[in-house]
Amino acid sequence: MLQPKRTKYRKQQKGRRKGLAHRGSSLEFGDFALQAIGRGYLTSRQIEAGRMAIQRETKRAGKLFIRIFPDKPITSKPLETRMGTGKGAVEEYVAVVLPGRILFELEGVTREMAEKAFRLAGNKLPLDCKFLVRSEQL
């Protein structure tokens, strides 16, 4: 699974997920992309499930670019623990996704294959997504 090798601080505060994505919102590497319309957290397991769906559909043809990385630690306390006693242990890492963020990019495959692969990957994710093409983005 994806997670940072090391971080400066072990735990983070929640933060807010408002606004639109400005960074990572344009097609940079591939010809086709999967762009998030909704907002939320993507766990490393969800990112991996989307990657596997794309690789399986394209039969590993072309090149896949993963544009997000789970670098935010999510903590949780054990069940039936009383209030107090500090913050819980780190359970998993998530990527914060805002509307407009490019999640995956593909190059070297046909449009039909990319569209089908991204539809399958989008079904694995808890966000609404849309399909982008480089020629239509200009």
* DSSP string across the chain: ----S--SSS--------S---TT-S--SSSEEEEE-S-EEEEHHHHHHHHHHHHHHHTT-SEEEE-----EEEEEPPTT--S-S---EEEEEEEEE-TT-EEEEEESS-HHHHHHHHHHHHHHSSS-EEEEEHHHH-
Q: Give the per-residue pLDDT at 128.
A: 95
Q: Is the pTM of this model over 0.95?
A: no
Q: Answer for the pair 83, 4: CB distance below 8 angstroms, yes or no.
A: no
Q: What pLDDT digit, counting tens, does each position of 33-80 carry?
A: 999 999 999 999 999 999 999 999 999 889 999 999 999 999 999 999
Would you say residue 136 has pLDDT above 80?
Answer: no
Of 68, 137, 62, 57, give the one whose Cα is nearest residue 104: 68
Q: Give the per-residue pLDDT at 34.
A: 96
96 bridge partner residues: 41
Strands 89-97 and 129-133: unpaired
Q: Which long-range contacts (CB under 8 A, 24 or more apart) does 6-9 make?
A: 7/71, 7/73
**Structural domains of the chain ordered from first start:** 32-77+87-137 (3.90.1170.10)
Q: Give the per-residue pLDDT at 138.
A: 55
User: Which positions ≥6 away from 6 have C-beta within 8 Å?
Assistant: none
- Work out the pLDDT band at 135, boundaries 50, 70, 90: confident
Q: Give the per-residue pLDDT at 63.
A: 95
Query: What integer is the mean pLDDT of 110-120?
Result: 95
Q: What is the mean pLDDT of the chain?
A: 94
Q: What are phi and psi of 29, to 5 degrees?
A: -110, -45
